[in-house]
Amino acid sequence: METLFFLIISFVAIISAILVVTCKNPINSALSLIMTFFCLATYYVMLDAPFMAAVQVMVYAGAIMVLMVFTIMLLNIRVDASKKHSHKIVFSSIIGFFTFVNLAYVLFKSRVAVPTGPYSADMIKQVGHTELIGKEMFTNFLLPFEITSILLLVAIVGAVILAKKKI
Amino acid sequence: MSNVLSLTTFLPILGVLLLLFIPKDSKGVLRNVTLGVTIVTFLVSLIILTGFQSNAEFQFTENVPWIAAGPFIMRYNIGIDGISLWLVILTTFIMPIAVLSTYTAVDEKVKEYMICLLLLETGMLGAFISLDLFLFYIFWEVMLIPMYFMIGIWGGKNKLYAAVKFFIYTMVGSLLMLVALIFLYFKGMEAGITDFGLLNFFSLKLDMATQIWLFLAFAFAFAIKVPMFPLHTWLPDAHTEAPTAGSVILAAVLLKMGTYGYVRFAIPLFPDAAQKFAPLIATLAVIGIIYAALVAMVQEDVKKLVAYSSVAHLGFVMLGIFAFNTEGITGGMLQMINHGISTGALFLIVGFIYERRHTRLITDFGGLSKQMPVFATIFMIVTFSSVGLPGTNGFVGEFLILLGAFESQLRWWTIVATSGVILSAVYMLWVFQRVMFGELDNPKNQKLSDLNVREVAIMVPLVVLIFFIGLYPKPFIDKMEPAINKLVAQVHVSSVNAQAIPDAEMPAGHPGMEQMPAGHPGMEQLPAGHPAVEVPSSPHAEPVVNPHEAK
Amino acid sequence: MENLNSYLIVSAVLFSIGTIGVLTRKNAIVIFMCIELMLNAVNLTFVAFSRYLGNLDGQVFVFFIMTVAAAEAAVGLALFIAFFNNKDSIDVTDANLMKW
Amino acid sequence: MFDNVWLIPLFPLIGFLINGLFGKKIKNEAIIGGIGTLMIFLSFLVSCGILMQMIGLPPEQRVFEKVVFPWIHSGHFKADMAFLVDPLSVVMIMVVTGVGSLIHLYSIGYMHGEEGFYRFFAYLNLFCMSMLLLVLGSNMLVMFIGWEGVGLCSYLLIGYYFHKKSAGDAAKKAFVMNRIGDFGFLIGLFTLYWWLGSNHNIWTVNFMEIKAASHLLPYGGVVTVATLCFFLGATGKSAQIPLFTWLPDAMEGPTPVSALIHAATMVTAGVYMIGRMSFVFIKSPDTMMVIAVVGAATALFAATIGTAQNDIKRVLAYSTVSQLGYMFLAMGVGAFSAGIFHLMTHAFFKACLFLGSGSVIHSMHHALHKVHSHDDAQDMRNMGGLRKAMPITFITFLVSTIAISGIPGFSGFFSKDEILWQSFSNPYHGNLNIVLWGFGAAAACLTAFYMFRLVFMTFFGECRINPGAKSYLHESPLVITIPLMVLGTLAAFGGYLGMPKLMGLLPNYFEHWLDPVFELSTEYGSTYAQHGDHLSHGLEWGLMGLSVLIAIIGIGIAFTMYVQNTKLPGKFVATFPALHRAVYNKWYVDELYDYLFVNPCKAFGQFLWKGFDVLIVDGVVNGVANTVMGFSGIFRYLQSGYIYNYAFSMALGVVVMLGYFIFK
């Protein structure tokens, strides 16, 4: 049952990812991308990471994609009008394929380490994913976390300045 | 007090910080603050001068850890001796003058210009005081950038070409130097040297082949900066296009980097190779003297003429340095200062008339003496200083150089170089005559105003120094001589070690050969590329007393 | 949970599709979306490994990646707007001033 | 008094500083001229004091060295700012300050009303200071300061009328020619210093120390090289062949300058220098011969040119060159004190002649100016019959002319005759002596001829001046004529100081005075002198008579051509046009130099700049740059500027590299 569900989700995710790449209208691409993000969120739930799933939906599907769709609408971009370069698609596909081959080969050939970490599925269920992530984040990763906030601040300032009419 | 050297060096940087807080429209404030900073720097550098003891040691040293990256250990290692002392003072002395000369000449982007000037000052001072090879390299490059911008932004018509030419020429040299520097460091590591400290490397015994290659790399970098004969063509372009202050600093200080590099680095680090190449370098220097003089003679642009005269003067300096005796090197060092003063003053003078007439073509002038008597007087004094008239500074340096070179193995070179004295009189007087004498027939020249108070104030210190050094060079020579004697000893000990095999073919019947101080006879008998040079230093070599110290 | 490998395969597929998208598309925003796709593929790998190894560090990393992605989106989109204002187009073929 | 020798150059320096810095503000000519004259006169007084003290000392104690302050000390090299007082330098300072004072006084009158009056006096004082440094310097370097300093002042004063192009050119020419000489001086100095230092460890440029070590110097060899170099220096400064062409041009300067610098003092510096280092020069027989030959040749050569010039000052200029030739002839035949003696008498009569010509020009200029005539005030063809209008000038001028022509009883006779006799009888040059004497005698004839030609054309005959201007001609004021009278007196009687022994009336004071200086030289000379037959007194008398006869012949010819039969010169020109043209154009030496040196130098410089610098060096540099640009022109197509191309290559790179590491 779970396997079937996984397969269905995988199918949807991959198809919508392909749509992101192939759709001529950017809006369609964006909507397909949102679909992919939802699929990923589902994966996160299946991987016992409900907090990540929630963040995925809120940040990606919610914030980022809304921003993108908004931009597309704002700029009034319609169909990708420029003609396609077929040879480019072929070459790109070959590269993409070999990327995949590389990755897959690594996956199948490499030996995966034995699970060592303290966080088992039961423990997560018992304590709660959000709490565990929170503890981790505010203890071991406090400095990076704070730096992230500065990064965001810089990004906000940068975005404001860049988007002004006159630079 | 102990950090006064660092203070001098980094005061201009503090000045830059101060400038950042001044709005860029208040040009007067910017100029005055910059002037103030440079004057304070000069005053602080006077503390160094008064506290300097006349001995051969490095003084005011500071040595603290700086960068340690794996095997590369660089230290903030600074100090001065008699050789660098006067160059530091010259730099701090020239800077206020250069700043003062920009008051009316530069009216655009004043803030940036002033920042460039101050950065340049730090770079130059840093290069003179570094005792760590890597630190030296850093400062060496730091100088390059503000100068590039000064030529490229505030320059004349052809400024981009000149700026890029200047930059690339210098860069090529300094990259070679960097490679050599790193190679030298690895050689040093094999011998147990742990950081880039210059003094460590003096005791390093390198074999001849290594010395040759490293010397060539260093010499090439410095030769471009000097500039020596075939590598000089960037100079006229850079000088012509640079704004007045830029030309002044370029002539007065930046060119000295090259000659200073020889004295401080290339020669003491690789003494055997330096001796081997002395005839070659002397040849280039002498060609430079004659060549630049001949070319200067036919220039139509006053500034270009002065630039070529720089090439000739620095040819003298190189000749003196490669005489490898106290007189020659003292003369060379003194001539560096003199050239800084005289040529700096000449560029200021060209700047004055350029500001008034916006042309530098000699044919546009004539008869200015009538209209500008003060200017004429100062121009004349500076001209004669540049020509090397006795009583002015130029003579003392030139004379000692020629005397020293004549005593050394470079006798024939000296004779040719001395004829440069005639040519320098020809081209300087000719330009003086064409600009200042004759009928005042160009109507545009008839309304020229004489120098104002600011301009006179710029020139007076230079004129005073011209006569002071010319008539009483003793304080200058006394401070630099111990360090120079040490350098001469370094070179000669090495050369005597290198030819420890007794030289049987000393010509007999040369009277008084026995009393001849060591070092001299050997050098004279030793043709360039003598096989004996390649004999590794022998432990049997008897300790040699340096002739100059023995006296 | 499913086998670790299946997640990784999915992630690899998504990453490859994202690569192809970046290489073929000309619309800057779509390219940008493909980059997001690649980032997400990596995120999936992180979470899968984290889960498998019983170590939450991977998931914390995903969190950071999302932050970076958000910042990137903000700045990137602002850039596109500025670009669009100048060129009246969002096509990367029009951004060729870096030529020689 | 000796201790105060430093005051001698100091006074003119003070005068220079006062006039140079504040002269423009003072404006009052009397004060400016007064300060200038006073300062040099004070020096003269100090010099007199020194002379008096020295006379009181026994001859062997007459050497004193005063170190004022240390100057250049470096390594072995040591040169102090130091002054040497000995009989030779005392003679020189007496001449310089004495004649200098008179000329300063004269200048107050002559330069009256000139623009830049203060400048003139400042330069004149500076010149006196330099000249005094030159003669007082106790080492070659201090001498060299003076040596170049007088060159500088000469430059400044020749270029005094700087708005005239010819003045500027002349000034530059003088300086550059002097510089060529300086080149020789420096090389000579280096050679001597290096040889003594490296062979005997005596590193010195001090005259007295060199003198003490002079026994170590070899005869000939390196000394010949060094002395020839020094002699090159002397030819530059003293306008001898080949570097004499600047002196006639130098007449562009104001007349007092010509008198002071280009007649009495500066140009004699070369002679003084040889005298100062006679103990070195005498060690090289070859150099002595060169000096003698050059001196004799210059004496004759310049005299020939002098015969055809029409500009009153140019005649005197060539006469100066010729007389300097005599002095060198004296030096070259080892008659050092005779040379110095001629230097002194020449200073008297030539200064008087120049000042007299100045007085004439002054008056002519004034008169021509009144009638707005543009005739040349210096051209003798416009003069004539001036003796009535300017009696004092005429008499002093005539006395000096007689003196220079070598008429017995006047100063020039004693000195010139001594030189001629020495050139005939000296033991150094063997058979060459007769040639030297012949040249000298021929030059004496020409000298008498052209000097009397000058006098006749200027003061005798009918007045050729613009008729309107004639009535404005008048004698110059006292301030001008007093120096003339003093110098005229000296020109007449100064010679009795050095009366030849032969005449026996007076002991030869001058020679005795200089004996301690030249004793050593004579000693060195005697080692290679060829003592032939002792020449009899009769021969000496005979030669003396012959030279007087020659002079009188010269005067006679001049009288015939320019007083009795004034058409003769025109006929002569018509008969030998080529000869006259050549002489008139100074044998085309200037043109030859232009053709040989000046133009090639300029062309070569132009070639180096345009051909080598721009074409080759910059060509190589730009060529390298262009090659790099060419290659990058090919490679730049890789940089399409399209993001996807970069992304493509990046992805390809990643894939390939990953693949390599995974599958290897």
H/E segment holding residue D155? helix D140-158
Closest CB to C4 among A96, A112, A132: A112
pLDDT exceeds 90 at position B232: no
- Compute and round to an integer the Cα radius of gyration of chain C: 17
**D587 backbone φψ class: left, alpha, beta (φ>0; ψ -120 to 50):** left
For chain A, how many structural domains are there in total? Answer: 2
> What are the phi and psi torsion angles at D262 (to 5°)?
-95, 15
pLDDT exceeds 60 at position D49: yes
Least confident window among B117-121, B547-551, D248-252: B547-551
Q: Is C64 on the interface with D (CB under 8 A)?
A: no
The HSE-up count of residue D660 (CA atoms within 13 Å, CB side) is 5
Closest CB to D662 among A91, A92, A106: A106
pLDDT exceeds 60 at position B545: no
Q: Is D663 on the interface with A (CB under 8 A)?
A: yes
Binning pLDDT at 50, 70 and 90, where does residue A24 land?
Answer: confident
DSSP-derived secondary structure letter, D263 = I
CA dist., res. D644 & res. D104, Å (int): 90
Q: Is A140 on the interface with D (CB under 8 A)?
A: no
Q: Which of A76, A127, A136, A162 is the best mutation test for C, with the most CBs of C within 10 A?
A: A162
Q: Is D606 on the interface with C (CB under 8 A)?
A: no
For chain B, how many structural domains are there in total? Answer: 1
Binning pLDDT at 50, 70 and 90, where does residue B539 land?
Answer: very low
Task: Identify whether the C-beta of residue A107 lies closer than 8 Å to the C-beta of residue C8.
Answer: yes
| Same domain assignment for residues A3 and A78 | yes
D633/B316: higher pLDDT: B316
Q: What is the pLDDT, as a whole number, of residue D44?
A: 92
List of residues 6+ apart from A90 with CB closer than 8 A: none
Question: Residue B8: exposed, middle, or buried by beta-carbon count in 10 A (0-12, 13-18, 19+)?
Answer: buried
Q: What is the pLDDT, as a whole number, of residue B532?
A: 41
Q: Is D645 on the interface with C (CB under 8 A)?
A: no
CA dist., res. D271 & res. D342, Å (int): 10
Nearest to C14 by CA among A42, A18, D655: A18
Least confident window among A69-83, B319-333, D83-97: A69-83
For residue D127, give both structure tokens.
């010149």
pLDDT tens-place string over residues B266-318: 888 888 888 889 999 999 999 999 888 888 888 888 999 999 999 999 999 99
DSSP-derived secondary structure letter, B544 = -
Quote the mean pLDDT of chain C: 85
- The C-alpha angle with vertex A148 and arms to A144 and A150, in degrees rounded to 5, equals 120
CA dist., res. B455 & res. D502, Å (int): 68
For residue A164, give both structure tokens.
């002004």
pLDDT tens-place string over residues D193-246: 888 888 888 888 888 888 888 888 888 888 899 999 999 989 988 888 888 888
Q: What is the pLDDT, as a whole number, of residue B518?
A: 42
Nearest to B39 by CA among B94, B119, B96: B96
Max Cα distance, chain A (Å): 58
Residue with tokens 């005759």: D417
Q: Is D642 on the interface with C (CB under 8 A)?
A: yes
H/E segment holding residue B78? strand B72-80
Residue B285: domain span: 279-500+515-551
Residues of C in contact with D643 (CB under 8 A): 31, 92, 95
CA dist., res. D378 & res. D299, Å (int): 24
List of residues 6+ apart from B533 with CB closer than 8 A: B208, B272, B275, B276, B495, B498, B499, B526
Q: Is C58 on the interface with A (CB under 8 A)?
A: no
Residue A111, in any domain of the structure = no
Least confident window among B174-178, B345-349, D162-166: D162-166
Letter string b/e over residues D386-418, b meaning 16 or more CB atoms within 10 A of that residue's CB: bbebbebbbbbbbbbbbbbbbbbebbbbbbbbb
Task: Identify whether the C-beta of residue A129 lies closer than 8 Å to the C-beta of residue A51.
Answer: yes
Task: Identify whether the C-beta of residue D347 lies closer than 8 Å to the C-beta of residue D264.
Answer: yes
Least confident window among A87-91, C69-73, D403-407: A87-91
| Same domain assignment for residues A77 and A1 | yes
Q: What is the mean pLDDT of residues D114-138?
A: 88
Residue B529, in any domain of the structure = yes
Contact A17 C14 (CB under 8 A): yes
Residue B297, in any domain of the structure = yes
- Which of the other chains make 3 or more beta carbon contacts under 8 angstroms with chain C? A, D
Q: Is A102 on the interface with D (CB under 8 A)?
A: yes
Least confident window among A34-48, D334-348, D619-633: D619-633
Distance from CA of C31 to the nearest CA of D (A): 9
Residues 65-94 of C with CB under 8 A from A: 66-75, 77-82, 84-85, 90-91, 93
Residue B290, in any domain of the structure = yes
Q: Is C95 on the interface with D (CB under 8 A)?
A: yes
Query: Could you tell me the domains of chain C?
Result: 4-88 (1.10.287.3510)
Least confident window among A3-12, B20-29, B175-184: B20-29
Residue A105, in any domain of the structure = no
CA dist., res. B485 & res. B325, Å (int): 8
Helices D269-276 and D87-110 cross at an angle (nearest 10°) of 170
CA dist., res. B418 & res. D186, Å (int): 8
CA dist., res. B399 & res. B393, Å (int): 10
pLDDT tens-place string over residues B361-412: 888 888 888 888 888 889 989 998 998 888 888 889 999 999 999 888 888 8
Residues 25-84 of A with CB under 8 A from D: none
| Same domain assignment for residues A8 and A67 | yes
Contact D651 C98 (CB under 8 A): no
Letter string b/e over residues C81-93, b meaning 16 or more CB atoms within 10 A of that residue's CB: bbbbeeeebbbbe
Predicted complex: ipTM over 0.85 = no
DSSP-derived secondary structure letter, B167 = H
Binning pLDDT at 50, 70 and 90, where does residue D383 land?
Answer: confident
Least confident window among B64-73, B279-288, B498-507, D522-531: B498-507
Least confident window among B413-417, C36-40, D373-377: D373-377
Q: What is the pLDDT, as a whole number, of residue A166?
A: 60
Q: What is the CATH number of the domain that holds A3?
A: 1.20.120.1200
Residues of C in contact with D640 (CB under 8 A): 96, 99
| Same domain assignment for residues A18 and A67 | yes
Residue with tokens 């000693």: D523
Residue A91, in any domain of the structure = no
Q: Is D662 on the interface with A (CB under 8 A)?
A: yes
Kindly tell me whether chain A and chain B come into contact, counting contact as 3+ Cβ pairs under 8 Å.
no
Residue A137, in any domain of the structure = yes
Helix, strand, or coil here: D545? helix
| Same domain assignment for residues A61 and A12 | yes
Distance from CA of C46 to the nearest CA of A (A): 10
| Same domain assignment for residues A125 and A78 | no
pLDDT exceeds 80 at position B181: yes
Contact A95 D651 (CB under 8 A): yes
CA dist., res. D327 & res. D343, Å (int): 7
Residue A89, in any domain of the structure = no
Using CA coordinates, name the residue in chain D closest to A107: D662
Task: Identify whether the C-beta of residue B521 lies closer than 8 Å to the C-beta of residue B502.
Answer: no
A164/B356: higher pLDDT: B356
Contact D651 A102 (CB under 8 A): no
Q: Is D609 on the interface with A (CB under 8 A)?
A: no
Residue A87, in any domain of the structure = no
| Cα separation of the two ends of chain A | 57
Across B122-131, B353-362, D114-123, D515-524, the highest mean pLDDT is recorded for B122-131
Q: What is the mean pLDDT of residues B41-69?
A: 87
For residue A161, give both structure tokens.
């300045």
Q: What is the pLDDT, as a whole number, of residue B514?
A: 40
D33/D589: higher pLDDT: D33
Q: What is the pLDDT, as a whole number, of residue A18?
A: 92
Question: Residue B535: exposed, middle, or buried by beta-carbon count in 10 A (0-12, 13-18, 19+)?
Answer: middle
Q: Is A93 on the interface with D (CB under 8 A)?
A: no
Distance from CA of D630 to the nearest CA of C (A): 13
Distance from CA of D648 to the nearest CA of A (A): 8
Q: What is the pLDDT, as a whole number, of residue B318?
A: 92
Closest CB to D647 among C23, C96, C100: C23
pLDDT tens-place string over residues B478-519: 888 888 888 888 888 766 655 544 443 444 444 444 444 444
- Please report the number of interchain residue pairs, chain A to chain D, with beta-carbon separation below 8 angstroms: 21
User: If you write DSSP's letter for every residue of B13-60 in order, what string do you get?
Assistant: HHHHHHHHTS-TT-HHHHHHHHHHHHHHHHHHHHHHHHH--SSSS-EE
D404/D570: higher pLDDT: D404
Q: What is the pLDDT, as a whole number, of residue A165?
A: 65
Residues of A in contact with D663 (CB under 8 A): 105
Residue A161, in any domain of the structure = yes
Quote the mean pLDDT of chain B: 83
Closest CB to C96 among D636, D641, D648: D641
A57/D429: higher pLDDT: A57
Q: What is the pLDDT, as a whole number, of residue C39?
A: 93
Would you say the C-alpha torsion A114, A116, A119, A120 has a positive or negative sign? positive
Contact B517 D201 (CB under 8 A): yes
List of residues 6+ apart from D242 with CB closer than 8 A: D235
Using CA coordinates, name the residue in chain B closest to D20: B377
Residue A150: domain span: 118-167
Q: What is the pLDDT, as a whole number, of residue B158?
A: 85
Residue A97, in any domain of the structure = no
Using CA coordinates, name the residue in chain B closest to D77: B327
